[in-house]
Amino acid sequence: MPSLRSNFTHLKEHDEQLLRLGMLAERYFAEDPNTCLLKLRQLAEVMTQIVASHVGLLDRPGERPV
């Protein structure tokens, strides 16, 4: 990812995918609000999976709950 200023740069230390999704949401904010919301939803889903894996609810970050 290029070194751009973003409201989501602090997420890079946790997961590159979180940073990418946050920056894409910012990029589409004005020109395509629906895509912005989609990227924010994806960001929330990935963040939820990461948190669940850290507290022991999932074995791996990519695992889906049953």
- Ordered by start, the domain boundaries in the chain are 9-54
Three-state secondary structure of 10-29: HHHHCCHHHHHHHHHHHHHC
How many Å apart are CA 1 and CA 65, to the nearest integer?
30
Sign of the Cα torsion 47, 21, 9, 28 reads negative
Q: Could you read off the pLDDT of 18-53 as tens digits, one per residue?
A: 999 999 999 999 999 999 999 999 999 999 988 888
How many Å apart are CA 25 and CA 15, to the nearest integer?
16
Q: Residue 4's pLDDT band (boundaries 50, 70, 90)? A: low
